Amino acid sequence: MTETNPHIKVIPAKTKGFISINSHPAGCAKSVTEWSERAKSKPTITGLGSAPKALILGGTTGYGLATRVILTENLNASTISVGFDAPASESRPGTAGWYNTYSFHQRHKGNDKHFSLNGDAFAQETRENVVKLIKEKFGKIGIFVYSIAAPRRKDPVTGTVYSSVLKPVGAPYSGLTVELDGGKLSMASLQPANEEEIANTKKVMGGEDLMLWIDYLKSQGVVEDDLKVVAYTYEGPSLSWPVYKDGTIGKAKDDVKDTCVSLNGDLAKSGGMARVAYLQATVTQASLAIPTVPLYVAVYSKIMKEHGLFEDNLDHVYRMLQLLGQEKAGADTSVALRADDRELDAKIQKIVTERMSVLQAGTVLDDTHFSALRGAFLNLFGFEIPGIDYTTPVDTLYGKEWEI
């Protein structure tokens, strides 16, 4: 920090549990550049059209950002991204999504093909702003990606605010997990959700908002006849089912699938489709808060690397989009797009089970597993990126002007 420019300072990695307090602008910028160059070098994805126009909800981090980068670099797409990120200020850094978005725009500066809105994707005002932008810049979109995970949602009609919970349904759950601060293994326990919590989680994470988006976009005449709708989800292995697939989040995700079945029947009439993309376990701030999942991701990722099957977010979404390009429109076609097939392979899961069975609470996860897990987590926020000198002061206001 300097006396004349308090926003010029060294930004250290700082975490509290599974929450990162800081993000690093230079690290985020380098990550976006690296992803972009890799996406550009991959064979061109077929079946998604030439230079498609895409709307991505949740396109600032993780799988959403990977989707935007791949569509842009690999297919010369035009994109609109909606995120909900805290901007940079003189007192503290912006969120990783804020810096990622600015870095993306810096790379594509001046081509008038990419636009980003920072706001609540659940709000009708955001839908209206997006439609206005589509009409002005694109005319219509051909790809719609729904990559949203949120703790709460305000109903755009009633104004009621609903909160989601991560809980099992029907019975308590206890599972072994790993603490990100130090790697200690401990037991995590959750009490089952009540009916109100199940219903509220469905209101936040279910398919209602997805349907509102598609209905509104169609009513405004801004979607192509062969629109492709993709909603991202996760199912995971049976060991996490009590707290995820069979829990409150899983119930909400079932509703997303039901919504996509309904949407697919409608969209297929004009050559379009809706799919639920089942993606692999990955390191995100949200996923690491789920008991058992952090430990599972650490063990699973190492096994996949040993077998030459490991995919980071970019590689995984690239393969998923390849699968999407092979899909054929049809009202009776399954909406499940299984990109998690490698993760759920019986041989891989057998090894995962064997290795996790010997782990015990009160011990510390070995450094090979723990350092990779913590490193992947910090990478999300621009830390531990090779080639970045984290002792050099940087401008926290980097990216202040990107919002439109």
Beta bridge partners of 56: 81, 145
| 41-52 pLDDT, tens digit each | 999 999 999 899
The encoded tokens of residue 193 equal 């959700």
Query: Is 0.75 topped by the overall pTM?
Result: yes
- What dihedral angle (degrees, nearest 10) is formed by the CA atoms of 31, 32, 37, 40? 140
Band of pLDDT at residue 400, cut at 50, 70 and 90: low
- What number is the average pLDDT over the span 20-38? 96
Amino acid at 86: A
Number of alpha helices (DSSP H) and beta strands (DSSP E) in the chain: 11, 15
Residue 394 Cα to chain centre, angstroms: 27
Are the C-beta atoms of residues 396 and 306 closer than 8 Å to each other? Answer: no
**CA–CA distance, 248 with 253 (Å, rounded to integer):** 9
- The whole-number pLDDT of residue 4 equals 58
Crossing angle of helices 96-107 and 62-75, rounded to 10°? 10
- What number is the average pLDDT over the span 217-242? 96
Other CB atoms within 10 Å distance of the CB of residue 124: 13
Picking from 15-19, 130-134, 270-274, which range would have the lowest pLDDT averaged per residue? Answer: 15-19
Alpha helix positions (H), 136-229: 195-205, 208-219
Buried b (16+ CB within 10 A) or exposed e, 23-37: bbbbbbbbbbeebbe
**CA–CA distance, 355 with 351 (Å, rounded to integer):** 6
Locate the domains of the chain by residue range: 8-169+195-291+311-344+389-395
The DSSP H or E segment spanning 369 is helix 367-379
Other CB atoms within 10 Å distance of the CB of residue 380: 24
Q: Is it the case that residue 273 has pLDDT exceeding 50?
A: yes
Radius of gyration over every alpha carbon of the chain, rounded to an integer in angstroms: 21
Is there a catalytic annotation at residue 232? no
Which residue of the set 146, 244, 300, 398 is catalytic? 244
**CA–CA distance, 78 with 136 (Å, rounded to integer):** 13
Q: What are phi and psi of 57, to 5 degrees?
A: -90, 120
- How is domain 8-169+195-291+311-344+389-395 classified at the architecture level of CATH? 3-Layer(aba) Sandwich (3.40)
* Pairing, β 78-83 against β 53-57: parallel
> Mean pLDDT over all residues of the chain?
94
**CA–CA distance, 339 with 313 (Å, rounded to integer):** 12
